[in-house]
Amino acid sequence: MDEIYRRLRARLDAMATGYPVTPSGVELALLKKIFSPLDASLFMEMTDVPETPGQVAARIGADARQVALRLEDMASRGLLFRLRSPDGPLYLAVPFIVGIYEFQVKSLDASLLQSVSEYYLAGLGQSFHATRIPHLRTVPVDTGMVSSWPIAPYDDALSIVEKKQTIAVAECLCRKAVRMYGKGCAHPLETCLQFDAFAEYYIDNHMARPISTDEAVAILKANDEAGLVIQALNSRNVEAMCACCGCCCGMLISLKLFPAPAREVKSNYTCMSEPEFCTGCGTCAVRCPVGAVRVKEGRAVTKQERCIGCGLCVSTCTEQIRLLVKKPSDKLYQPPESLLETFHQMSAERGTADKRE
């Protein structure tokens, strides 16, 4: 039976964000908790192109009705992604991160969390920053924080939200996981937003609740007040938006370990200030999630090589002397159009595009 899980591991490792092998084999134990052997066999037949059940059935030579039932069952458990279409549902395979693991937000339990935590330390965590193209981008909540124009719409969280037709809010998987260990922080739990097709998937799978644009805006502002970093999925057509804390979020925790986090993120902004007017209150230093701000001799000093451009130090500056400024033109980043395109580019960079075993 292990053979099918080794093949499934290889299939996931060939996808955008990888699924590396470990000496302990914890990655196989983790897959066994999520996938049955039947699930694994069908997942390996799926592509990253949305298909109808009839198309999948024709391609693999199986009964269309049975394939439709199996695809919907797997999608309802977060093992495949489902898209709505006028002709019925479409299904496709997605990576473990971002994808299958995040889709376990409602089924997360202590056993699954233990395996994920062990795997994160053994190899999965290293894959988060293994490519130049990241999973997430840091974006400011409000363009009012930014000193230079024009602002790209995909770099403004409020603008992103206001253009979406369908919006849902879900619990933060990271904070939920840490709280299961009896630890965690006091930050709010229901903070992460999904849009349009992602929102429909989360709502249909009872992983999130639908909300209005006004409620989404209120959540964004509350996230900023709580000191949470807004990280959008890395695409121009933003499909989802996380609200991350430096105490629970795996991405931010790993970012803090780098000597120069600014080089590891795809943010188009950095923070500047007028230190001569600083009162040294220290709010900015407390709110910075990556230790980019320190108060020295009564003045806040920013280490530009650590700044990830989130704007948390800007929105609460009592003297209003801090601003986000656009990086030089040769440092600006334009994300891929869609998350699927991002995944394709990540696979190409890793040299695993279209790899099968």
Q: Could you tell me if residue 19 is inside a domain?
A: yes
Residue 337 confidence (pLDDT) above 60: yes
How many structural domains are present in the chain? 3
120 lies in the same domain as 159: no
What does the pLDDT read at residue 215?
A: 98
Q: Kindly report the average pLDDT of the chain as a whole number.
A: 90
pLDDT(357) > 60? no
Say if residue 251 is in the same domain as residue 141.
yes
166/73 same-domain check? no
Q: Which of 70, 94, 129 is the last residue of a domain?
A: 129
Is the peptide bond between 150 and the residue preceding it cis, with omega within 30 degrees of 0? Answer: yes
For the chain, helix (H) and strand (E) counts, in that order, are 14, 12
- Per DSSP, the residues of 83-95 read E--TTS-EEE---
DSSP sequence for 114-183: HHHHHHIIIIIGGGGGSSSS-SEEE--S-GGGB-SS---GGG-HHHHHHT-SSEEEEE-HHHHHHHHTT-
Same domain, yes or no: 277 and 244: no
50, burial (CB in 10 Å: exposed 0-12, middle 13-18, buried 19+): middle
Query: Cα(262)–Cα(248) distance, rounded to whole angstroms?
Result: 20
**The model's pTM:** 0.91
Residue 348 lies in a domain: no
Burial bucket for residue 348 (CB in 10 Å: 0-12, 13-18, 19+): middle
Q: Residue 286 corresponds to which tokens in the numbers above? A: 């407390």
Residue with more model confidence, 142 or 84: 84
Q: Would you say residue 155 has pLDDT above 90?
A: no
In a domain, residue 338? The reply is no
Mean pLDDT of 337-357: 78
Of 351, 246, 315, the C-alpha closest to 14 is 351
Mark whether 34 and 98 lie in a shared domain: yes
pLDDT band at 207; cut points 50, 70, 90 = very high
pLDDT tens per residue, range 103-136: 999 888 989 999 998 998 898 887 777 788 888 9
Of the candidates 72, 118, 126, 95, which has an alpha carbon nearest to the alpha carbon of residue 251?
126
Q: Is residue 349 included in any domain, yes or no? A: no
Per-residue pLDDT for 47 more than 90? yes
Averaged pLDDT, 15-25: 92
Residue corresponding to tokens 């805006």:
217
Q: How far apart are CA 148 and CA 338, in angstroms?
A: 26
Q: What are 234-258's pLDDT values in tens digits?
A: 999 999 999 999 889 888 888 888 9
Q: Which domain holds residue 169?
A: 136-255
For residues 157 and 150, what is the distance between their CA atoms, to the nearest angstrom? 15
Among 13-22, 127-136, 235-244, 339-348, where is mean pLDDT lowest? 127-136
Q: What is the pLDDT of residue 145?
A: 58
Out of 255, 278, 304, a domain closes at: 255
pLDDT of residue 252: 87
Residue 287, token pair as written in the block: 């709110």
344 burial (CB, 10 Å; 0-12 / 13-18 / 19+) is: middle
Model confidence at 143, pLDDT cuts 50, 70, 90, reads low
- Same domain assignment for residues 9 and 124: yes
Are both 9 and 120 inside the same structural domain?
A: yes
Name every residue whose Cβ is closer than 8 Å to that of residue 39 and which is 6 or more positions away in sequence.
Answer: 74, 79
Residue 286 has pLDDT above 80, yes or no: yes
Confidence band for 347, pLDDT divided at 50, 70 and 90: confident
Q: What is the pLDDT of residue 184?
A: 77
Give the burial class of 3: count Cβ atoms within 10 A of its Cβ; 0-12 exposed, 13-18 middle, 19 or more buried. Answer: exposed
Instruction: Name residues whose C-beta falls within 8 Å of residue 328's C-beta, 6 or more positions apart in sequence.
Output: none
**Domain identity same for 161 and 124:** no
Beta-sheet pairing, 190-195 with 209-211: unpaired
Band (320; pLDDT cuts 50, 70, 90): confident
User: How many CB atoms lie under 10 A from the CB of residue 180?
Assistant: 15
User: CA 326 to CA 27: how far, in whole Å?
Assistant: 41
Cα 38 from Cα 256, distance rounded (Å)? 40
Is position 140 within any domain?
Answer: yes
pLDDT in tens, 64-109: 999 999 999 999 999 999 999 998 999 999 999 989 999 999 888 9
How, if at all, do strands 136-138 and 167-171 pair? unpaired
CATH number, domain with residue 269: 3.30.70.20
Cis peptide before 98 (omega within 30 of 0): yes
Instruction: Say whether both 280 and 210 belong to one domain.
Output: no
Tokens representing 19 are 């699924």
Residue that finishes a domain, picked among 63, 97, 129 = 129
Task: Tell me the average pLDDT across 37-64.
Answer: 96
pLDDT bracket for residue 1 (50, 70, 90): low
Residue appearing with tokens 């801090």: 322
For residue 342, tell me if it sits in a domain.
no
Is the same domain home to 17 and 120? yes
Q: Which two tokens stand for residue 234?
A: 């890395």
Q: pLDDT at residue 355 above 70?
A: no
**Cα–Cα dist 283/47, whole Å:** 48
Whether residue 107 is found in the same domain as residue 177: no
351 inside domain: no
Q: Rounded mean pLDDT of 225-240?
A: 94
Would you say residue 346 lies in a domain? no
What CATH number is given to the structural domain containing 58? 1.10.10.10
**pLDDT value for 140:** 84
**Cα–Cα distance, 351 to 14 (Å, whole number):** 8
Whether residues 118 and 153 share a domain: the answer is no
pLDDT band, very low/low/confident/very high, at 156 (cuts 50, 70, 90) = confident
H or E element, residue 133: none
Burial (0-12, 13-18, 19+ Cβ within 10 Å), 191: buried
Q: Does position 221 have pLDDT exceeding 90, yes or no?
A: yes
* Residue 329 pLDDT grade (very low, low, confident, very high; cuts 50, 70, 90): confident
Q: Is 349's pLDDT higher than 90?
A: no
Write down the pLDDT at residue 147.
56
The arithmetic mean of pLDDT across residues 28-38, rounded, is 97
Q: What value does the mean pLDDT take over residues 161-174?
A: 96
